[in-house]
Amino acid sequence: MKLEIYDSTLREGEQSATVTFTWEDRLKIIKELDRLGVSCIETGMLTYKRDLEWIQRAAALDLTNASLSVFGATRHAGECVRDSELLQLLADAPVSTACIFGKSWGYQVEKVLRTTKEENLSMIRDSVAYLRDAGKRVIFDAEHFFDGYSDDADYAISVLHTAWEAGADTVVLCDTNGGMLPDVIGMAASAAVTAAGEATRQTGRNCKVGIHCHNDMGMAEACSVSAVLSGAVHVQGTVSGIGERCGNANLNTLIPVLQLKLGFDCIGEGLSGLTDTARRINELANRTFDEREPFVGGYAFTHKAGTHIDGVIKAPRSFEHIVPQSVGNLRNVIISSLSGRSAMVEKMARILPHLDRESPEVAAALEAVRKKEEAGYSYDDAEASLLLVIREALGMRRQYFKVPHFKVMTDEGGEATDSLRSTAMIKVSVGGAEELCAAEGNGPVNAMDTALRQALVRFYPAIDQMHLTDFKVRVISGGTTAAVVRVVIESTDGVAVWRTVGVSPDIISASWQALRDSVEYMLDLRNGEKEI
């Protein structure tokens, strides 16, 4: 069965604290979601006439899979539908679908809208019919449906019937407070599906049920699945579950669960692009990607325990519930001096597939890792640096540039401020040609990063697309200012994300090691080297 996946990242996602999209970000996100195979993309709340300019830009995109939807509310209590400026904007929007929300909980009708239940039904009826007559496909979001159903099931169901009878294509059951359990969602959704069957017989149209869950109890995905198993055929959510308060149902999790585990068709063959799309959209949202996300996270198929590694190498299904590549992800085996030869063979298979346990290259790589660990390095969360260590042990590490000289200075900002000012000066040499650059930064690491990339961009223009996304420092010996520290840097080029590590008693030196590894790894990627 085909499910309609309705993405609300551009509206619900932007209601998340710290998330704001530019107009250009929005266009890029729409293209990413369309490429993934999402059925319908909500462009956002339509509030002002000037918003139509942005909708026109979105509507002009050449989309392959998705239709676009605008979002708004029903008319106000006591308002004539023809006088509603907001509904007129929805009707004028150059997209095929309009999604509007209205109350389905009597408590909200009386306490928030300050009107009667009868008037609320009229508001829904008038608004849906107005948009239908304007040529729109209408989706009605029954806000607080499950709370309303718990209080007064008959009234909540009457809200659904009102929307269908007025011309709504799909009525979406919203767990707006995010406080319902999956079994409650399933029972109420089943009643709604029964009502949809009655409405279909009465109207002669295919009246459908959808689901929209919030994650206030950490159950948005489970609740959404429960609704689908009860007959809902339209699923709303956001990428990575970003949204109001604790967020919305996470499409990164929902889509593979519904498609791979339950056999529904959500995005078809687009599923193999899920991990890449999730990372790209998080980058556009300026969010640090959660590597522990199911299916798409960097740790989703990462194995560290020796017995797990041995098992997954011999029989992948023993410790992996799906094939990682089915969602565009990869298996990852964490290497340490205790990992053993089998783990290292698995790790090196993508660059040297002919190796076996007895290959001398495997022993050399393990010995190189052992020596690094003795010095305080750890590669649990620094796969990029691990790759470079292995390449160096095998004599395969490329030297893209030399650094004859670099200097970092930190000075007080002056009497008017308590801040410190950092400056880095770096000279690089590439194929005998030299470049000297200096840069100021918000701290010494930022200054080094900026100066290094400015010096290298002349030789490697792609370096301009790279930037740091995270920086962590951990003291690994002693407890004084002379302690050895480990620095882990996370970087991205807008597509891939990687982490590198440096260790030293000097935090600047440790940071420099991690930074240099990060740049070298990025250049390896651009030169077609395989990841491990």
Q: What is the average pLDDT value for the chain, to the nearest integer?
A: 93
Q: Summarize pLDDT for 280-310 with one digit per residue, the tens.
A: 999 899 898 999 999 999 999 998 887 888 8
pLDDT digits (tens, 9 = 90+) for 378-429: 988 898 999 999 999 999 999 999 999 889 998 866 555 556 789 999 999 9
128 forms beta bridges with none
Could you tell me the CA-to-CA distances from 445 to 258, 400, 472 in Å, in that order? 44, 21, 11
Cβ–Cβ contacts within 10 Å for residue 402, how many? 12
Collapse the DSSP code of 403 into the 3-class scheme (helix H, G, I; strand E, B; otherwise coil) and give the result: strand
Cα–Cα dist 122/105, whole Å? 15
Mean pLDDT along residues 268-277: 97
pLDDT at 346: 81
Residue keyed to tokens 């939807």: 69
Calculate ∠ Cα 186-191-196, nearest 5°: 120
Residue 413 confidence (pLDDT) = 60
Which of these, 238, 322, 328, lies nearest to 38 by C-alpha position? 238
The DSSP result for 353-380, as a single string, is: TT--TT-HHHHHHHHHHHHHHHTT---T
pLDDT band, very low/low/confident/very high, at 531 (cuts 50, 70, 90): low
d(CA 276, CA 385): 22
Query: 182 phi and psi, to 5 degrees?
Result: -55, -40
- Tell me which DSSP letter residue 458 carries: T
Residue 339: its pLDDT value, please? 67
What is the four-CA torsion angle of 308, 309, 315, 319, rounded to 10 degrees? 40
In this structure, what token pair is assigned to residue 193?
């599906």
Token output for 153: 């099931």
pLDDT at 39: 98
pLDDT (average), residues 86-91: 97
Q: In this model, does residue 463 exceed pLDDT 90?
A: yes
pLDDT value at position 419? 66
At 417 the pLDDT is 54
Please give the domain boundaries of the chain with CATH numbers for all domains: 4-284 (3.20.20.70)
- Alpha helix positions (H), 206-270: 220-229, 251-256
pTM for the predicted model, two decimal places: 0.82
Flag whether pLDDT at 344 surpasses 90: no
Averaged over 189-216, what is the pLDDT?
98
- pLDDT tens for each residue of 157-194: 999 999 999 999 999 999 999 999 999 999 999 999 99
Is pLDDT of 272 > 80? yes
Cα–Cα distance for residue pair 328/324, rounded to 1 Å: 7
Q: What is the pLDDT of residues 123-149, one digit of tens each?
A: 999 999 999 999 999 999 999 999 999
Phi/psi at 162 (5° precision):
-60, -45
Q: How far apart are the first and last CA of the chain?
A: 37
Three-state SS for 262-328 is: CCCECCHHHHHHHHHHHHHHHHHCCCCCCCCCCCCCCCCCEECCHHHHHHHHHCHHHCCCCCHHHHC
Rg of the chain, C-alpha, whole Å: 28
Quick one: pLDDT at residue 166? Answer: 98
Q: Report strand pairing: 420-430 vs 40-45.
A: unpaired
- The pLDDT of residue 410 is 85
The pLDDT of residue 357 is 82
The pLDDT of residue 414: 56
- 3-state secondary structure at position 66: coil
- Write down the pLDDT at residue 502: 96
Whole-number Cα distances in Å, 290 to 222, 242, 353, 497: 19, 11, 31, 12
- Confidence class of residue 479 from pLDDT cuts 50, 70 and 90? low
Alpha carbons 437 and 457: distance in angstroms, whole number = 11
**Residue 332 — pLDDT band, cuts 50, 70, 90?**
confident
Has residue 264 got a pLDDT over 60? yes
pLDDT at residue number 281: 96
Which tokens in the block code for residue 14? 């932007």
Give the pLDDT score at 307: 82
- Rounded average pLDDT over 79-92: 96
Q: Is the pLDDT of residue 79 over 90?
A: yes
Q: pLDDT of 36-71, one tens digit each?
A: 999 999 999 998 998 999 999 999 999 999 999 999
Q: Cα separation of 331 and 343, whole Å?
A: 12
The size of the chain, in residues, is 532
What is the predicted pLDDT for the residue at 481? 59
